[in-house]
Each structure stands twice: as C-alpha cells, then as structure tokens.
A and B are shown apart, each in its own frame.
Chain A
Amino acid sequence: GENVEQHPSTLSVQEGDSAVIKCTYSDSASNYFPWYKQELGKRPQLIIDIRSNVGEKKDQRIAVTLNKTAKHFSLHITETQPEDSAVYFCAADSWGKFQFGAGTQVVVTP
C-alpha cells in the first residue's frame, strides 16, 4: 500500500521568509496530491493540490511541485505571515484511498 513520508516535522521561520515542506510517496499509481492546512482546534482544509500530469502549480503565495520520477512533492510558502502558522499535511491518492503524511508544524515568528 501507499506510504507517505513528510519532512520536517516542525519548521520555524521568520515572517517574510519562505517555508518548504517535502513529502515522498511509494505507490507509483498515486496520481493526485493534495495539501491541507489545519489550524489549532479545527479540521484540515484543502489549500492546494496537484495532479500527476502537472509538474508545478501556484496559487498566490503557495506553490506545489511534483517529481513523479523521484516520487516526491513539495509545498512552498513565500513571504510567510503569522496566519500561516498551522500544521500542514501532504497526502497521496492511490485509487481513492488517501494516505496522509505525519504533518509539519509551521511557526511563523514576527
């Protein structure tokens, strides 16, 4: 079955700097890779996603890249702001079965 690894587990950045979170997956059949943001006490919410036929996708300050050959994908947040502080999860969809990474706690300090 699919196995998703996510790094780092915690990430502290200065406001205005960039943050990068990396994930790897094992199942070559996985073809859809969403990213979720979970604020304290709330449910995970989808922030961006990418399909396997696309190498990069950008939405304002957030971008995701995918390297199918190496089986890894990354989330990039530029110009970080305090409201970006949260736990971020990557996921891989293999035949409708979503497997999630362990999460990255991002702390943006003013």
Chain B
Amino acid sequence: DADVTQTPRNRITKTGKRIMLECSQTKGHDRMYWYRQDPGLGLRLIYYSFDVKDINKGEISDGYSVSRQAQAKFSLSLESAIPNQTALYFCATSGGASVFFGPGTRLTVL
C-alpha cells in the first residue's frame, strides 16, 4: 500500500538523541495510529488520533510524543532515545473499519 508511507525506513541513533518518525497517508482517513512491534509482544499501541485536534495515549506512551500536523500527517517523536526503544514502528490509518499499516520504520538505539 503506497497509500501509507513512513520515513525514514531505517534509522540508527544513539542514546539520548531526539528522533522523529514521520507518517503520511493519501487514504483520506481521519484515524491514525502508531504501533511498536517487538518479537513475542505483538503490536502495541503508542498513540492514536481520531482527527487533527484529538490525540490519545495508548498502552505504552511513556517516552514518546506525537504531533498531528494535518489529517494526512502524524509524526512520532522520541525525546531522548534509549536502547529499549529499539523496535519496528508502524504507522496505521483507519477510515472506521479495519486498520491499514505503513511499511514500518526499523529503529535501532545504540
């Protein structure tokens, strides 16, 4: 699905650095999500947004922040990266039914 894009696709950073992951969608969906995937832990919800003025914490929001710059853009920031934030991060969108995922960003924090 080129409808949901994420940048960068891979990123290596150091402990303490600030990093931003970006997500854009052309599906016209109002709902956007950020998930983190770790082996054996599935997909855990970090933050979600139902429209530009609505931001909600998920189950693992500590250490993360988000910005919904427009209906089509939802970015995730790590204010001060730590090694246990090394994971695969997925942005997703929904028009009210199922969730569509972006290609993922593999983040490594050294």
Q: Which of A6, A9, A91, A102 contacts B99 (CB 8 A)?
A: A91
Q: A5 CA to B31 CA in the complex, in Å?
A: 24
A89 contacts B42, CB within 8 Å? Answer: yes
Q: A49 CA to B96 CA in the complex, in Å?
A: 13
Q: A32 CA to B102 CA in the complex, in Å?
A: 21
Q: Which of A32, A42, A44, A46 contacts B43 (CB 8 A)?
A: A44
Q: Which of A6, A34, A46 contacts B42 (CB 8 A)?
A: A6
Chain B residues positioned under 8 Å from A99 (CB to CB): 45, 59
Q: Which of B1, B41, B99 contacts A98 (CB 8 A)?
A: B99
B45 contacts A9, CB within 8 Å? Answer: no
Chain A residues positioned under 8 Å from B40 (CB to CB): 9, 102-103
Question: Which B residues have a C-beta under 8 Å from some C-beta of A?
Answer: 1, 31, 33, 35, 40-45, 48, 50, 56, 58-59, 90, 92, 94, 96-104
Kindly identify, within residues 52 to 102 of chain A, every residue whose CB is under 8 Å from any CB belonging to chain B: 89, 91, 96-102
The 3 closest A-B pairs by CB, nearest first: A102-B42, A100-B43, A43-B101
Q: Which of A42, A44, A89, A101 is packed against the most chain B CB atoms within 10 Å?
A: A44
From B56, which residue of chain A is reached at the shortest CB distance? Answer: A97
A110 interface contact, C-beta 8 A: no
A98 contacts B33, CB within 8 Å? Answer: yes
Instruction: Kindly provide the distance from the CB of A87 to the nearest chain B CB, expressed in whole angstroms.
Output: 9
Q: A96 CA to B92 CA in the complex, in Å?
A: 12
A46 contacts B98, CB within 8 Å? Answer: yes
From A34, which residue of chain B is reached at the shortest CB distance? Answer: B98
